[in-house]
Amino acid sequence: MVISTLHGCGSTHVESKPVHEVFRGQTVWDGIVEIFDLTGHPKAKRCYAWSHPEGPDDKGERFVTVLELPPVVSPKTAVQVSILRDIKKKHFSS
């Protein structure tokens, strides 16, 4: 449903993959990435998606979707791109 709403296309779940991202010896993300094949998207054939707690006391939930467009080629690179986007948002909004 989230993929359809955000990207305006259909999707079929393919598989789930664990991703553990470490930076300077510290875990920056550890979770399961859901992999979807897309139908009807003009550029991407695949999308990676996951959710994580967010907000005060982590009571909210944030859904993240990343299209498989360069440089994104795998669940791991999708997580890396998402982390970089979040860092840039925080840096430029401060």
pTM score, whole prediction = 0.86
pLDDT of residue 94: 54
User: In which band, very low, low, confident or very high, does the pLDDT at 91 lie, cut at 50, 70 and 90?
Assistant: low
Domain ranges of the chain: 2-93
Q: What is the pLDDT of residues 29-84, one digit of tens each?
A: 999 999 999 999 999 999 999 988 877 887 888 899 999 999 999 999 999 999 99
pLDDT of residue 57: 82
Mean pLDDT of the chain: 91
User: In which band, very low, low, confident or very high, does the pLDDT at 93 lie, cut at 50, 70 and 90?
Assistant: low
29: DSSP letter: E
Task: With a cut of 80, say whether residue 28 has pLDDT above it.
Answer: yes
Full 3-state SS string of 60-85: EEEEEEEECCCCCCCHHHHHHHHHHH
